[in-house]
Copies of this chain bind each other. A is one copy, B any other.
């Protein structure tokens, strides 16, 4: 009898994580003899701990196919970081009990660095508990900070959204700068790595002379230097667009905007760097300003997804199942870039031991010498990732997203207090 599979979404959702889910489930369905039912965790790994499983076999083929163009996490995701084996062995043992109760032999965990770590530990403990689970991590994170893989699904679409929005808003500001706004500040996501902020640099190119200044989290903020750069752009172009990362910080590490709150992983919850920067410019130069904070709009913007990103998200989900069926364990399928232009890629794989808890920062050579822009090397890396459009279907002017039935599987175990 073929073993069942468990699939869960972890951490911040994206506009294409459901495309990976689609890849996992469709590929499992295509291999019905070799793999049983795909159970999904309701609200991510919490669903596994509480034995709150969703039976994806109750969903129609059409609804599963529609996941490919539906943003968010269709089964629910969560911010819940499992502690180390030493500190909370109980939770890992519970996972194995649940997997055993439902005859689950495959664990597909779709997330970022923290979930790669969890995935790795599940694989390790399952062996020591004599119920071996093949644990496959399917990469996902708009932060693009996982190592080894060329990029992370979710990032390309956010990058496209930020690049396009920065170009559009810059056209807007340029046309009114004489009497109105001269400096527009757009705050984007990216706590530690400036990948998303870098995408703002794509707004300008050989055909679009747009003055963009980027404030990266990799470059400690120097106020005087920044203000001089803004003035130079306004002098030369009449206006300036500033793209500031939420993770932008001062020399001493203090974020330009720190709301003082922490999420479940202990990360600072940020927001509000844009008004800080905008007011700073106003105070120094008197320029009229506007600012925007894209926040969730950027990572949920399925209406402007990158086709490359959607294709890769799906392919990585599919590859995860294929690798599991080929007997792989404790690995993450990756995107391997084989050419920049034309962009070509293939699927590779990385051992989870090499992925877990490693954060990929922007290479130094991707940031221009003045610290406020991207280099040609960065452009060459980024541009293929936003390539192609993949529009969702529309009805009456609105995108049609699927909401699954998410039927619960009967519980077989006693309740578990988290």
For A180, A290, A397, the residue with the greatest tally of chain B CB atoms inside 10 Å of its CB is: A397
**CB within 8 Å of B: which A260-315 residues:** 261, 263-264, 269, 271-272, 274-275, 288, 290-297, 299-304, 306, 308
Q: Is the CB of B179 within 8 A of A71?
A: no
Partner of A164, one of B43, B78, B174, B303: B303
Q: Is the CB of A179 within 8 A of B12?
A: no
**CB within 8 Å of B: which A359-418 residues:** 383-384, 386-389, 391, 394, 396-401, 403
Q: Using known A-B contacts A271-B291, A293-B291, A303-B164, determine if residue A79 contacts B386 with beta carbons closer than 8 Å.
A: no
Task: Give the number of times this chain occurs in the complex, counting copies.
Answer: 2
Residues of chain B contacted by A354 (CB below 8 angstroms):
none
What is the chain B residue whose CB lies nearest that of A402? B207
Q: Is the CB of B294 within 8 A of A297?
A: yes
Q: Is the CB of A168 within 8 A of B290?
A: no
Q: Is the CB of B386 within 8 A of A164?
A: no
**CB within 8 Å of B: which A307-343 residues:** 308
Q: Is the CB of A179 within 8 A of B399?
A: no
Q: Using known A-B contacts A168-B297, A172-B72, A295-B290, determine if residue A179 contacts B304 with beta carbons closer than 8 Å.
A: no
Residues of chain B contacted by A163 (CB below 8 angstroms):
397-398
Partner of A383, one of B75, B175, B263, B396: B396
Q: Does A133 contact B (CB under 8 A)?
A: no
Residues of chain B contacted by A308 (CB below 8 angstroms):
397
Partner of A43, one of B178, B386, B396: B178
For A15, A296, A299, the residue with the greatest tally of chain B CB atoms inside 10 Å of its CB is: A296
What is the chain B residue whose CB lies nearest that of A172? B300
Q: Does A184 contact B (CB under 8 A)?
A: yes
Number of residues from A at the complex interface, CB < 8 A: 80
Partner of A387, one of B164, B272, B396, B399: B396
Q: Is the CB of B391 within 8 A of A397?
A: no
Q: Is the CB of B296 within 8 A of A173?
A: yes
A64-103: CB near B (< 8 Å → 1, else 0) gives 0000001111111111100000000000000000000000
Q: Is the CB of A72 within 8 A of B383?
A: no
What is the chain B residue whose CB lies nearest that of A293? B293
Residues of chain B contacted by A72 (CB below 8 angstroms):
168, 171-172, 174-175
Q: In the assembled complex, how far is the CB of residue A379 from the closest CB belonging to chain B, in whole angstroms?
A: 10
Q: Is the CB of A291 within 8 A of B295?
A: yes
Q: Is the CB of B399 within 8 A of A175?
A: no
Q: In the assembled complex, how far is the CB of residue A62 from the closest CB belonging to chain B, in whole angstroms?
A: 14
Residues of chain B contacted by A264 (CB below 8 angstroms):
179-180
Q: In the assembled complex, how far is the CB of residue A271 from the closest CB belonging to chain B, in whole angstroms?
A: 7
Q: Is the CB of A391 within 8 A of B389?
A: yes
Q: Using known A-B contacts A15-B168, A164-B398, determine if residue A176 contacts B300 with beta carbons closer than 8 Å.
A: no
Q: In the assembled complex, how far is the CB of residue A213 from the closest CB belonging to chain B, in whole angstroms?
A: 16
Partner of A397, one of B74, B76, B186, B387: B387
Q: Using known A-B contacts A72-B175, A73-B175, determine if residue A398 contacts B296 with beta carbons closer than 8 Å.
A: no
Q: Is the CB of B171 within 8 A of A78?
A: no
Q: How far apart sit A184 and B296, CA to CA, in the bound complex (Å)?
A: 9
A90-124: CB near B (< 8 Å → 1, else 0) gives 00000000000000000000000000000000000
Q: Does A25 contact B (CB under 8 A)?
A: no
What is the chain B residue whose CB lies nearest that of A403? B208
Residues of chain B contacted by A291 (CB below 8 angstroms):
271, 293, 295
- Name A's B-contacting residues (CB within 8 A): 9, 12-13, 15, 43, 46, 70-80, 160, 163-165, 167-169, 171-176, 178-181, 184, 186, 202, 205, 207-208, 261, 263-264, 269, 271-272, 274-275, 288, 290-297, 299-304, 306, 308, 383-384, 386-389, 391, 394, 396-401, 403
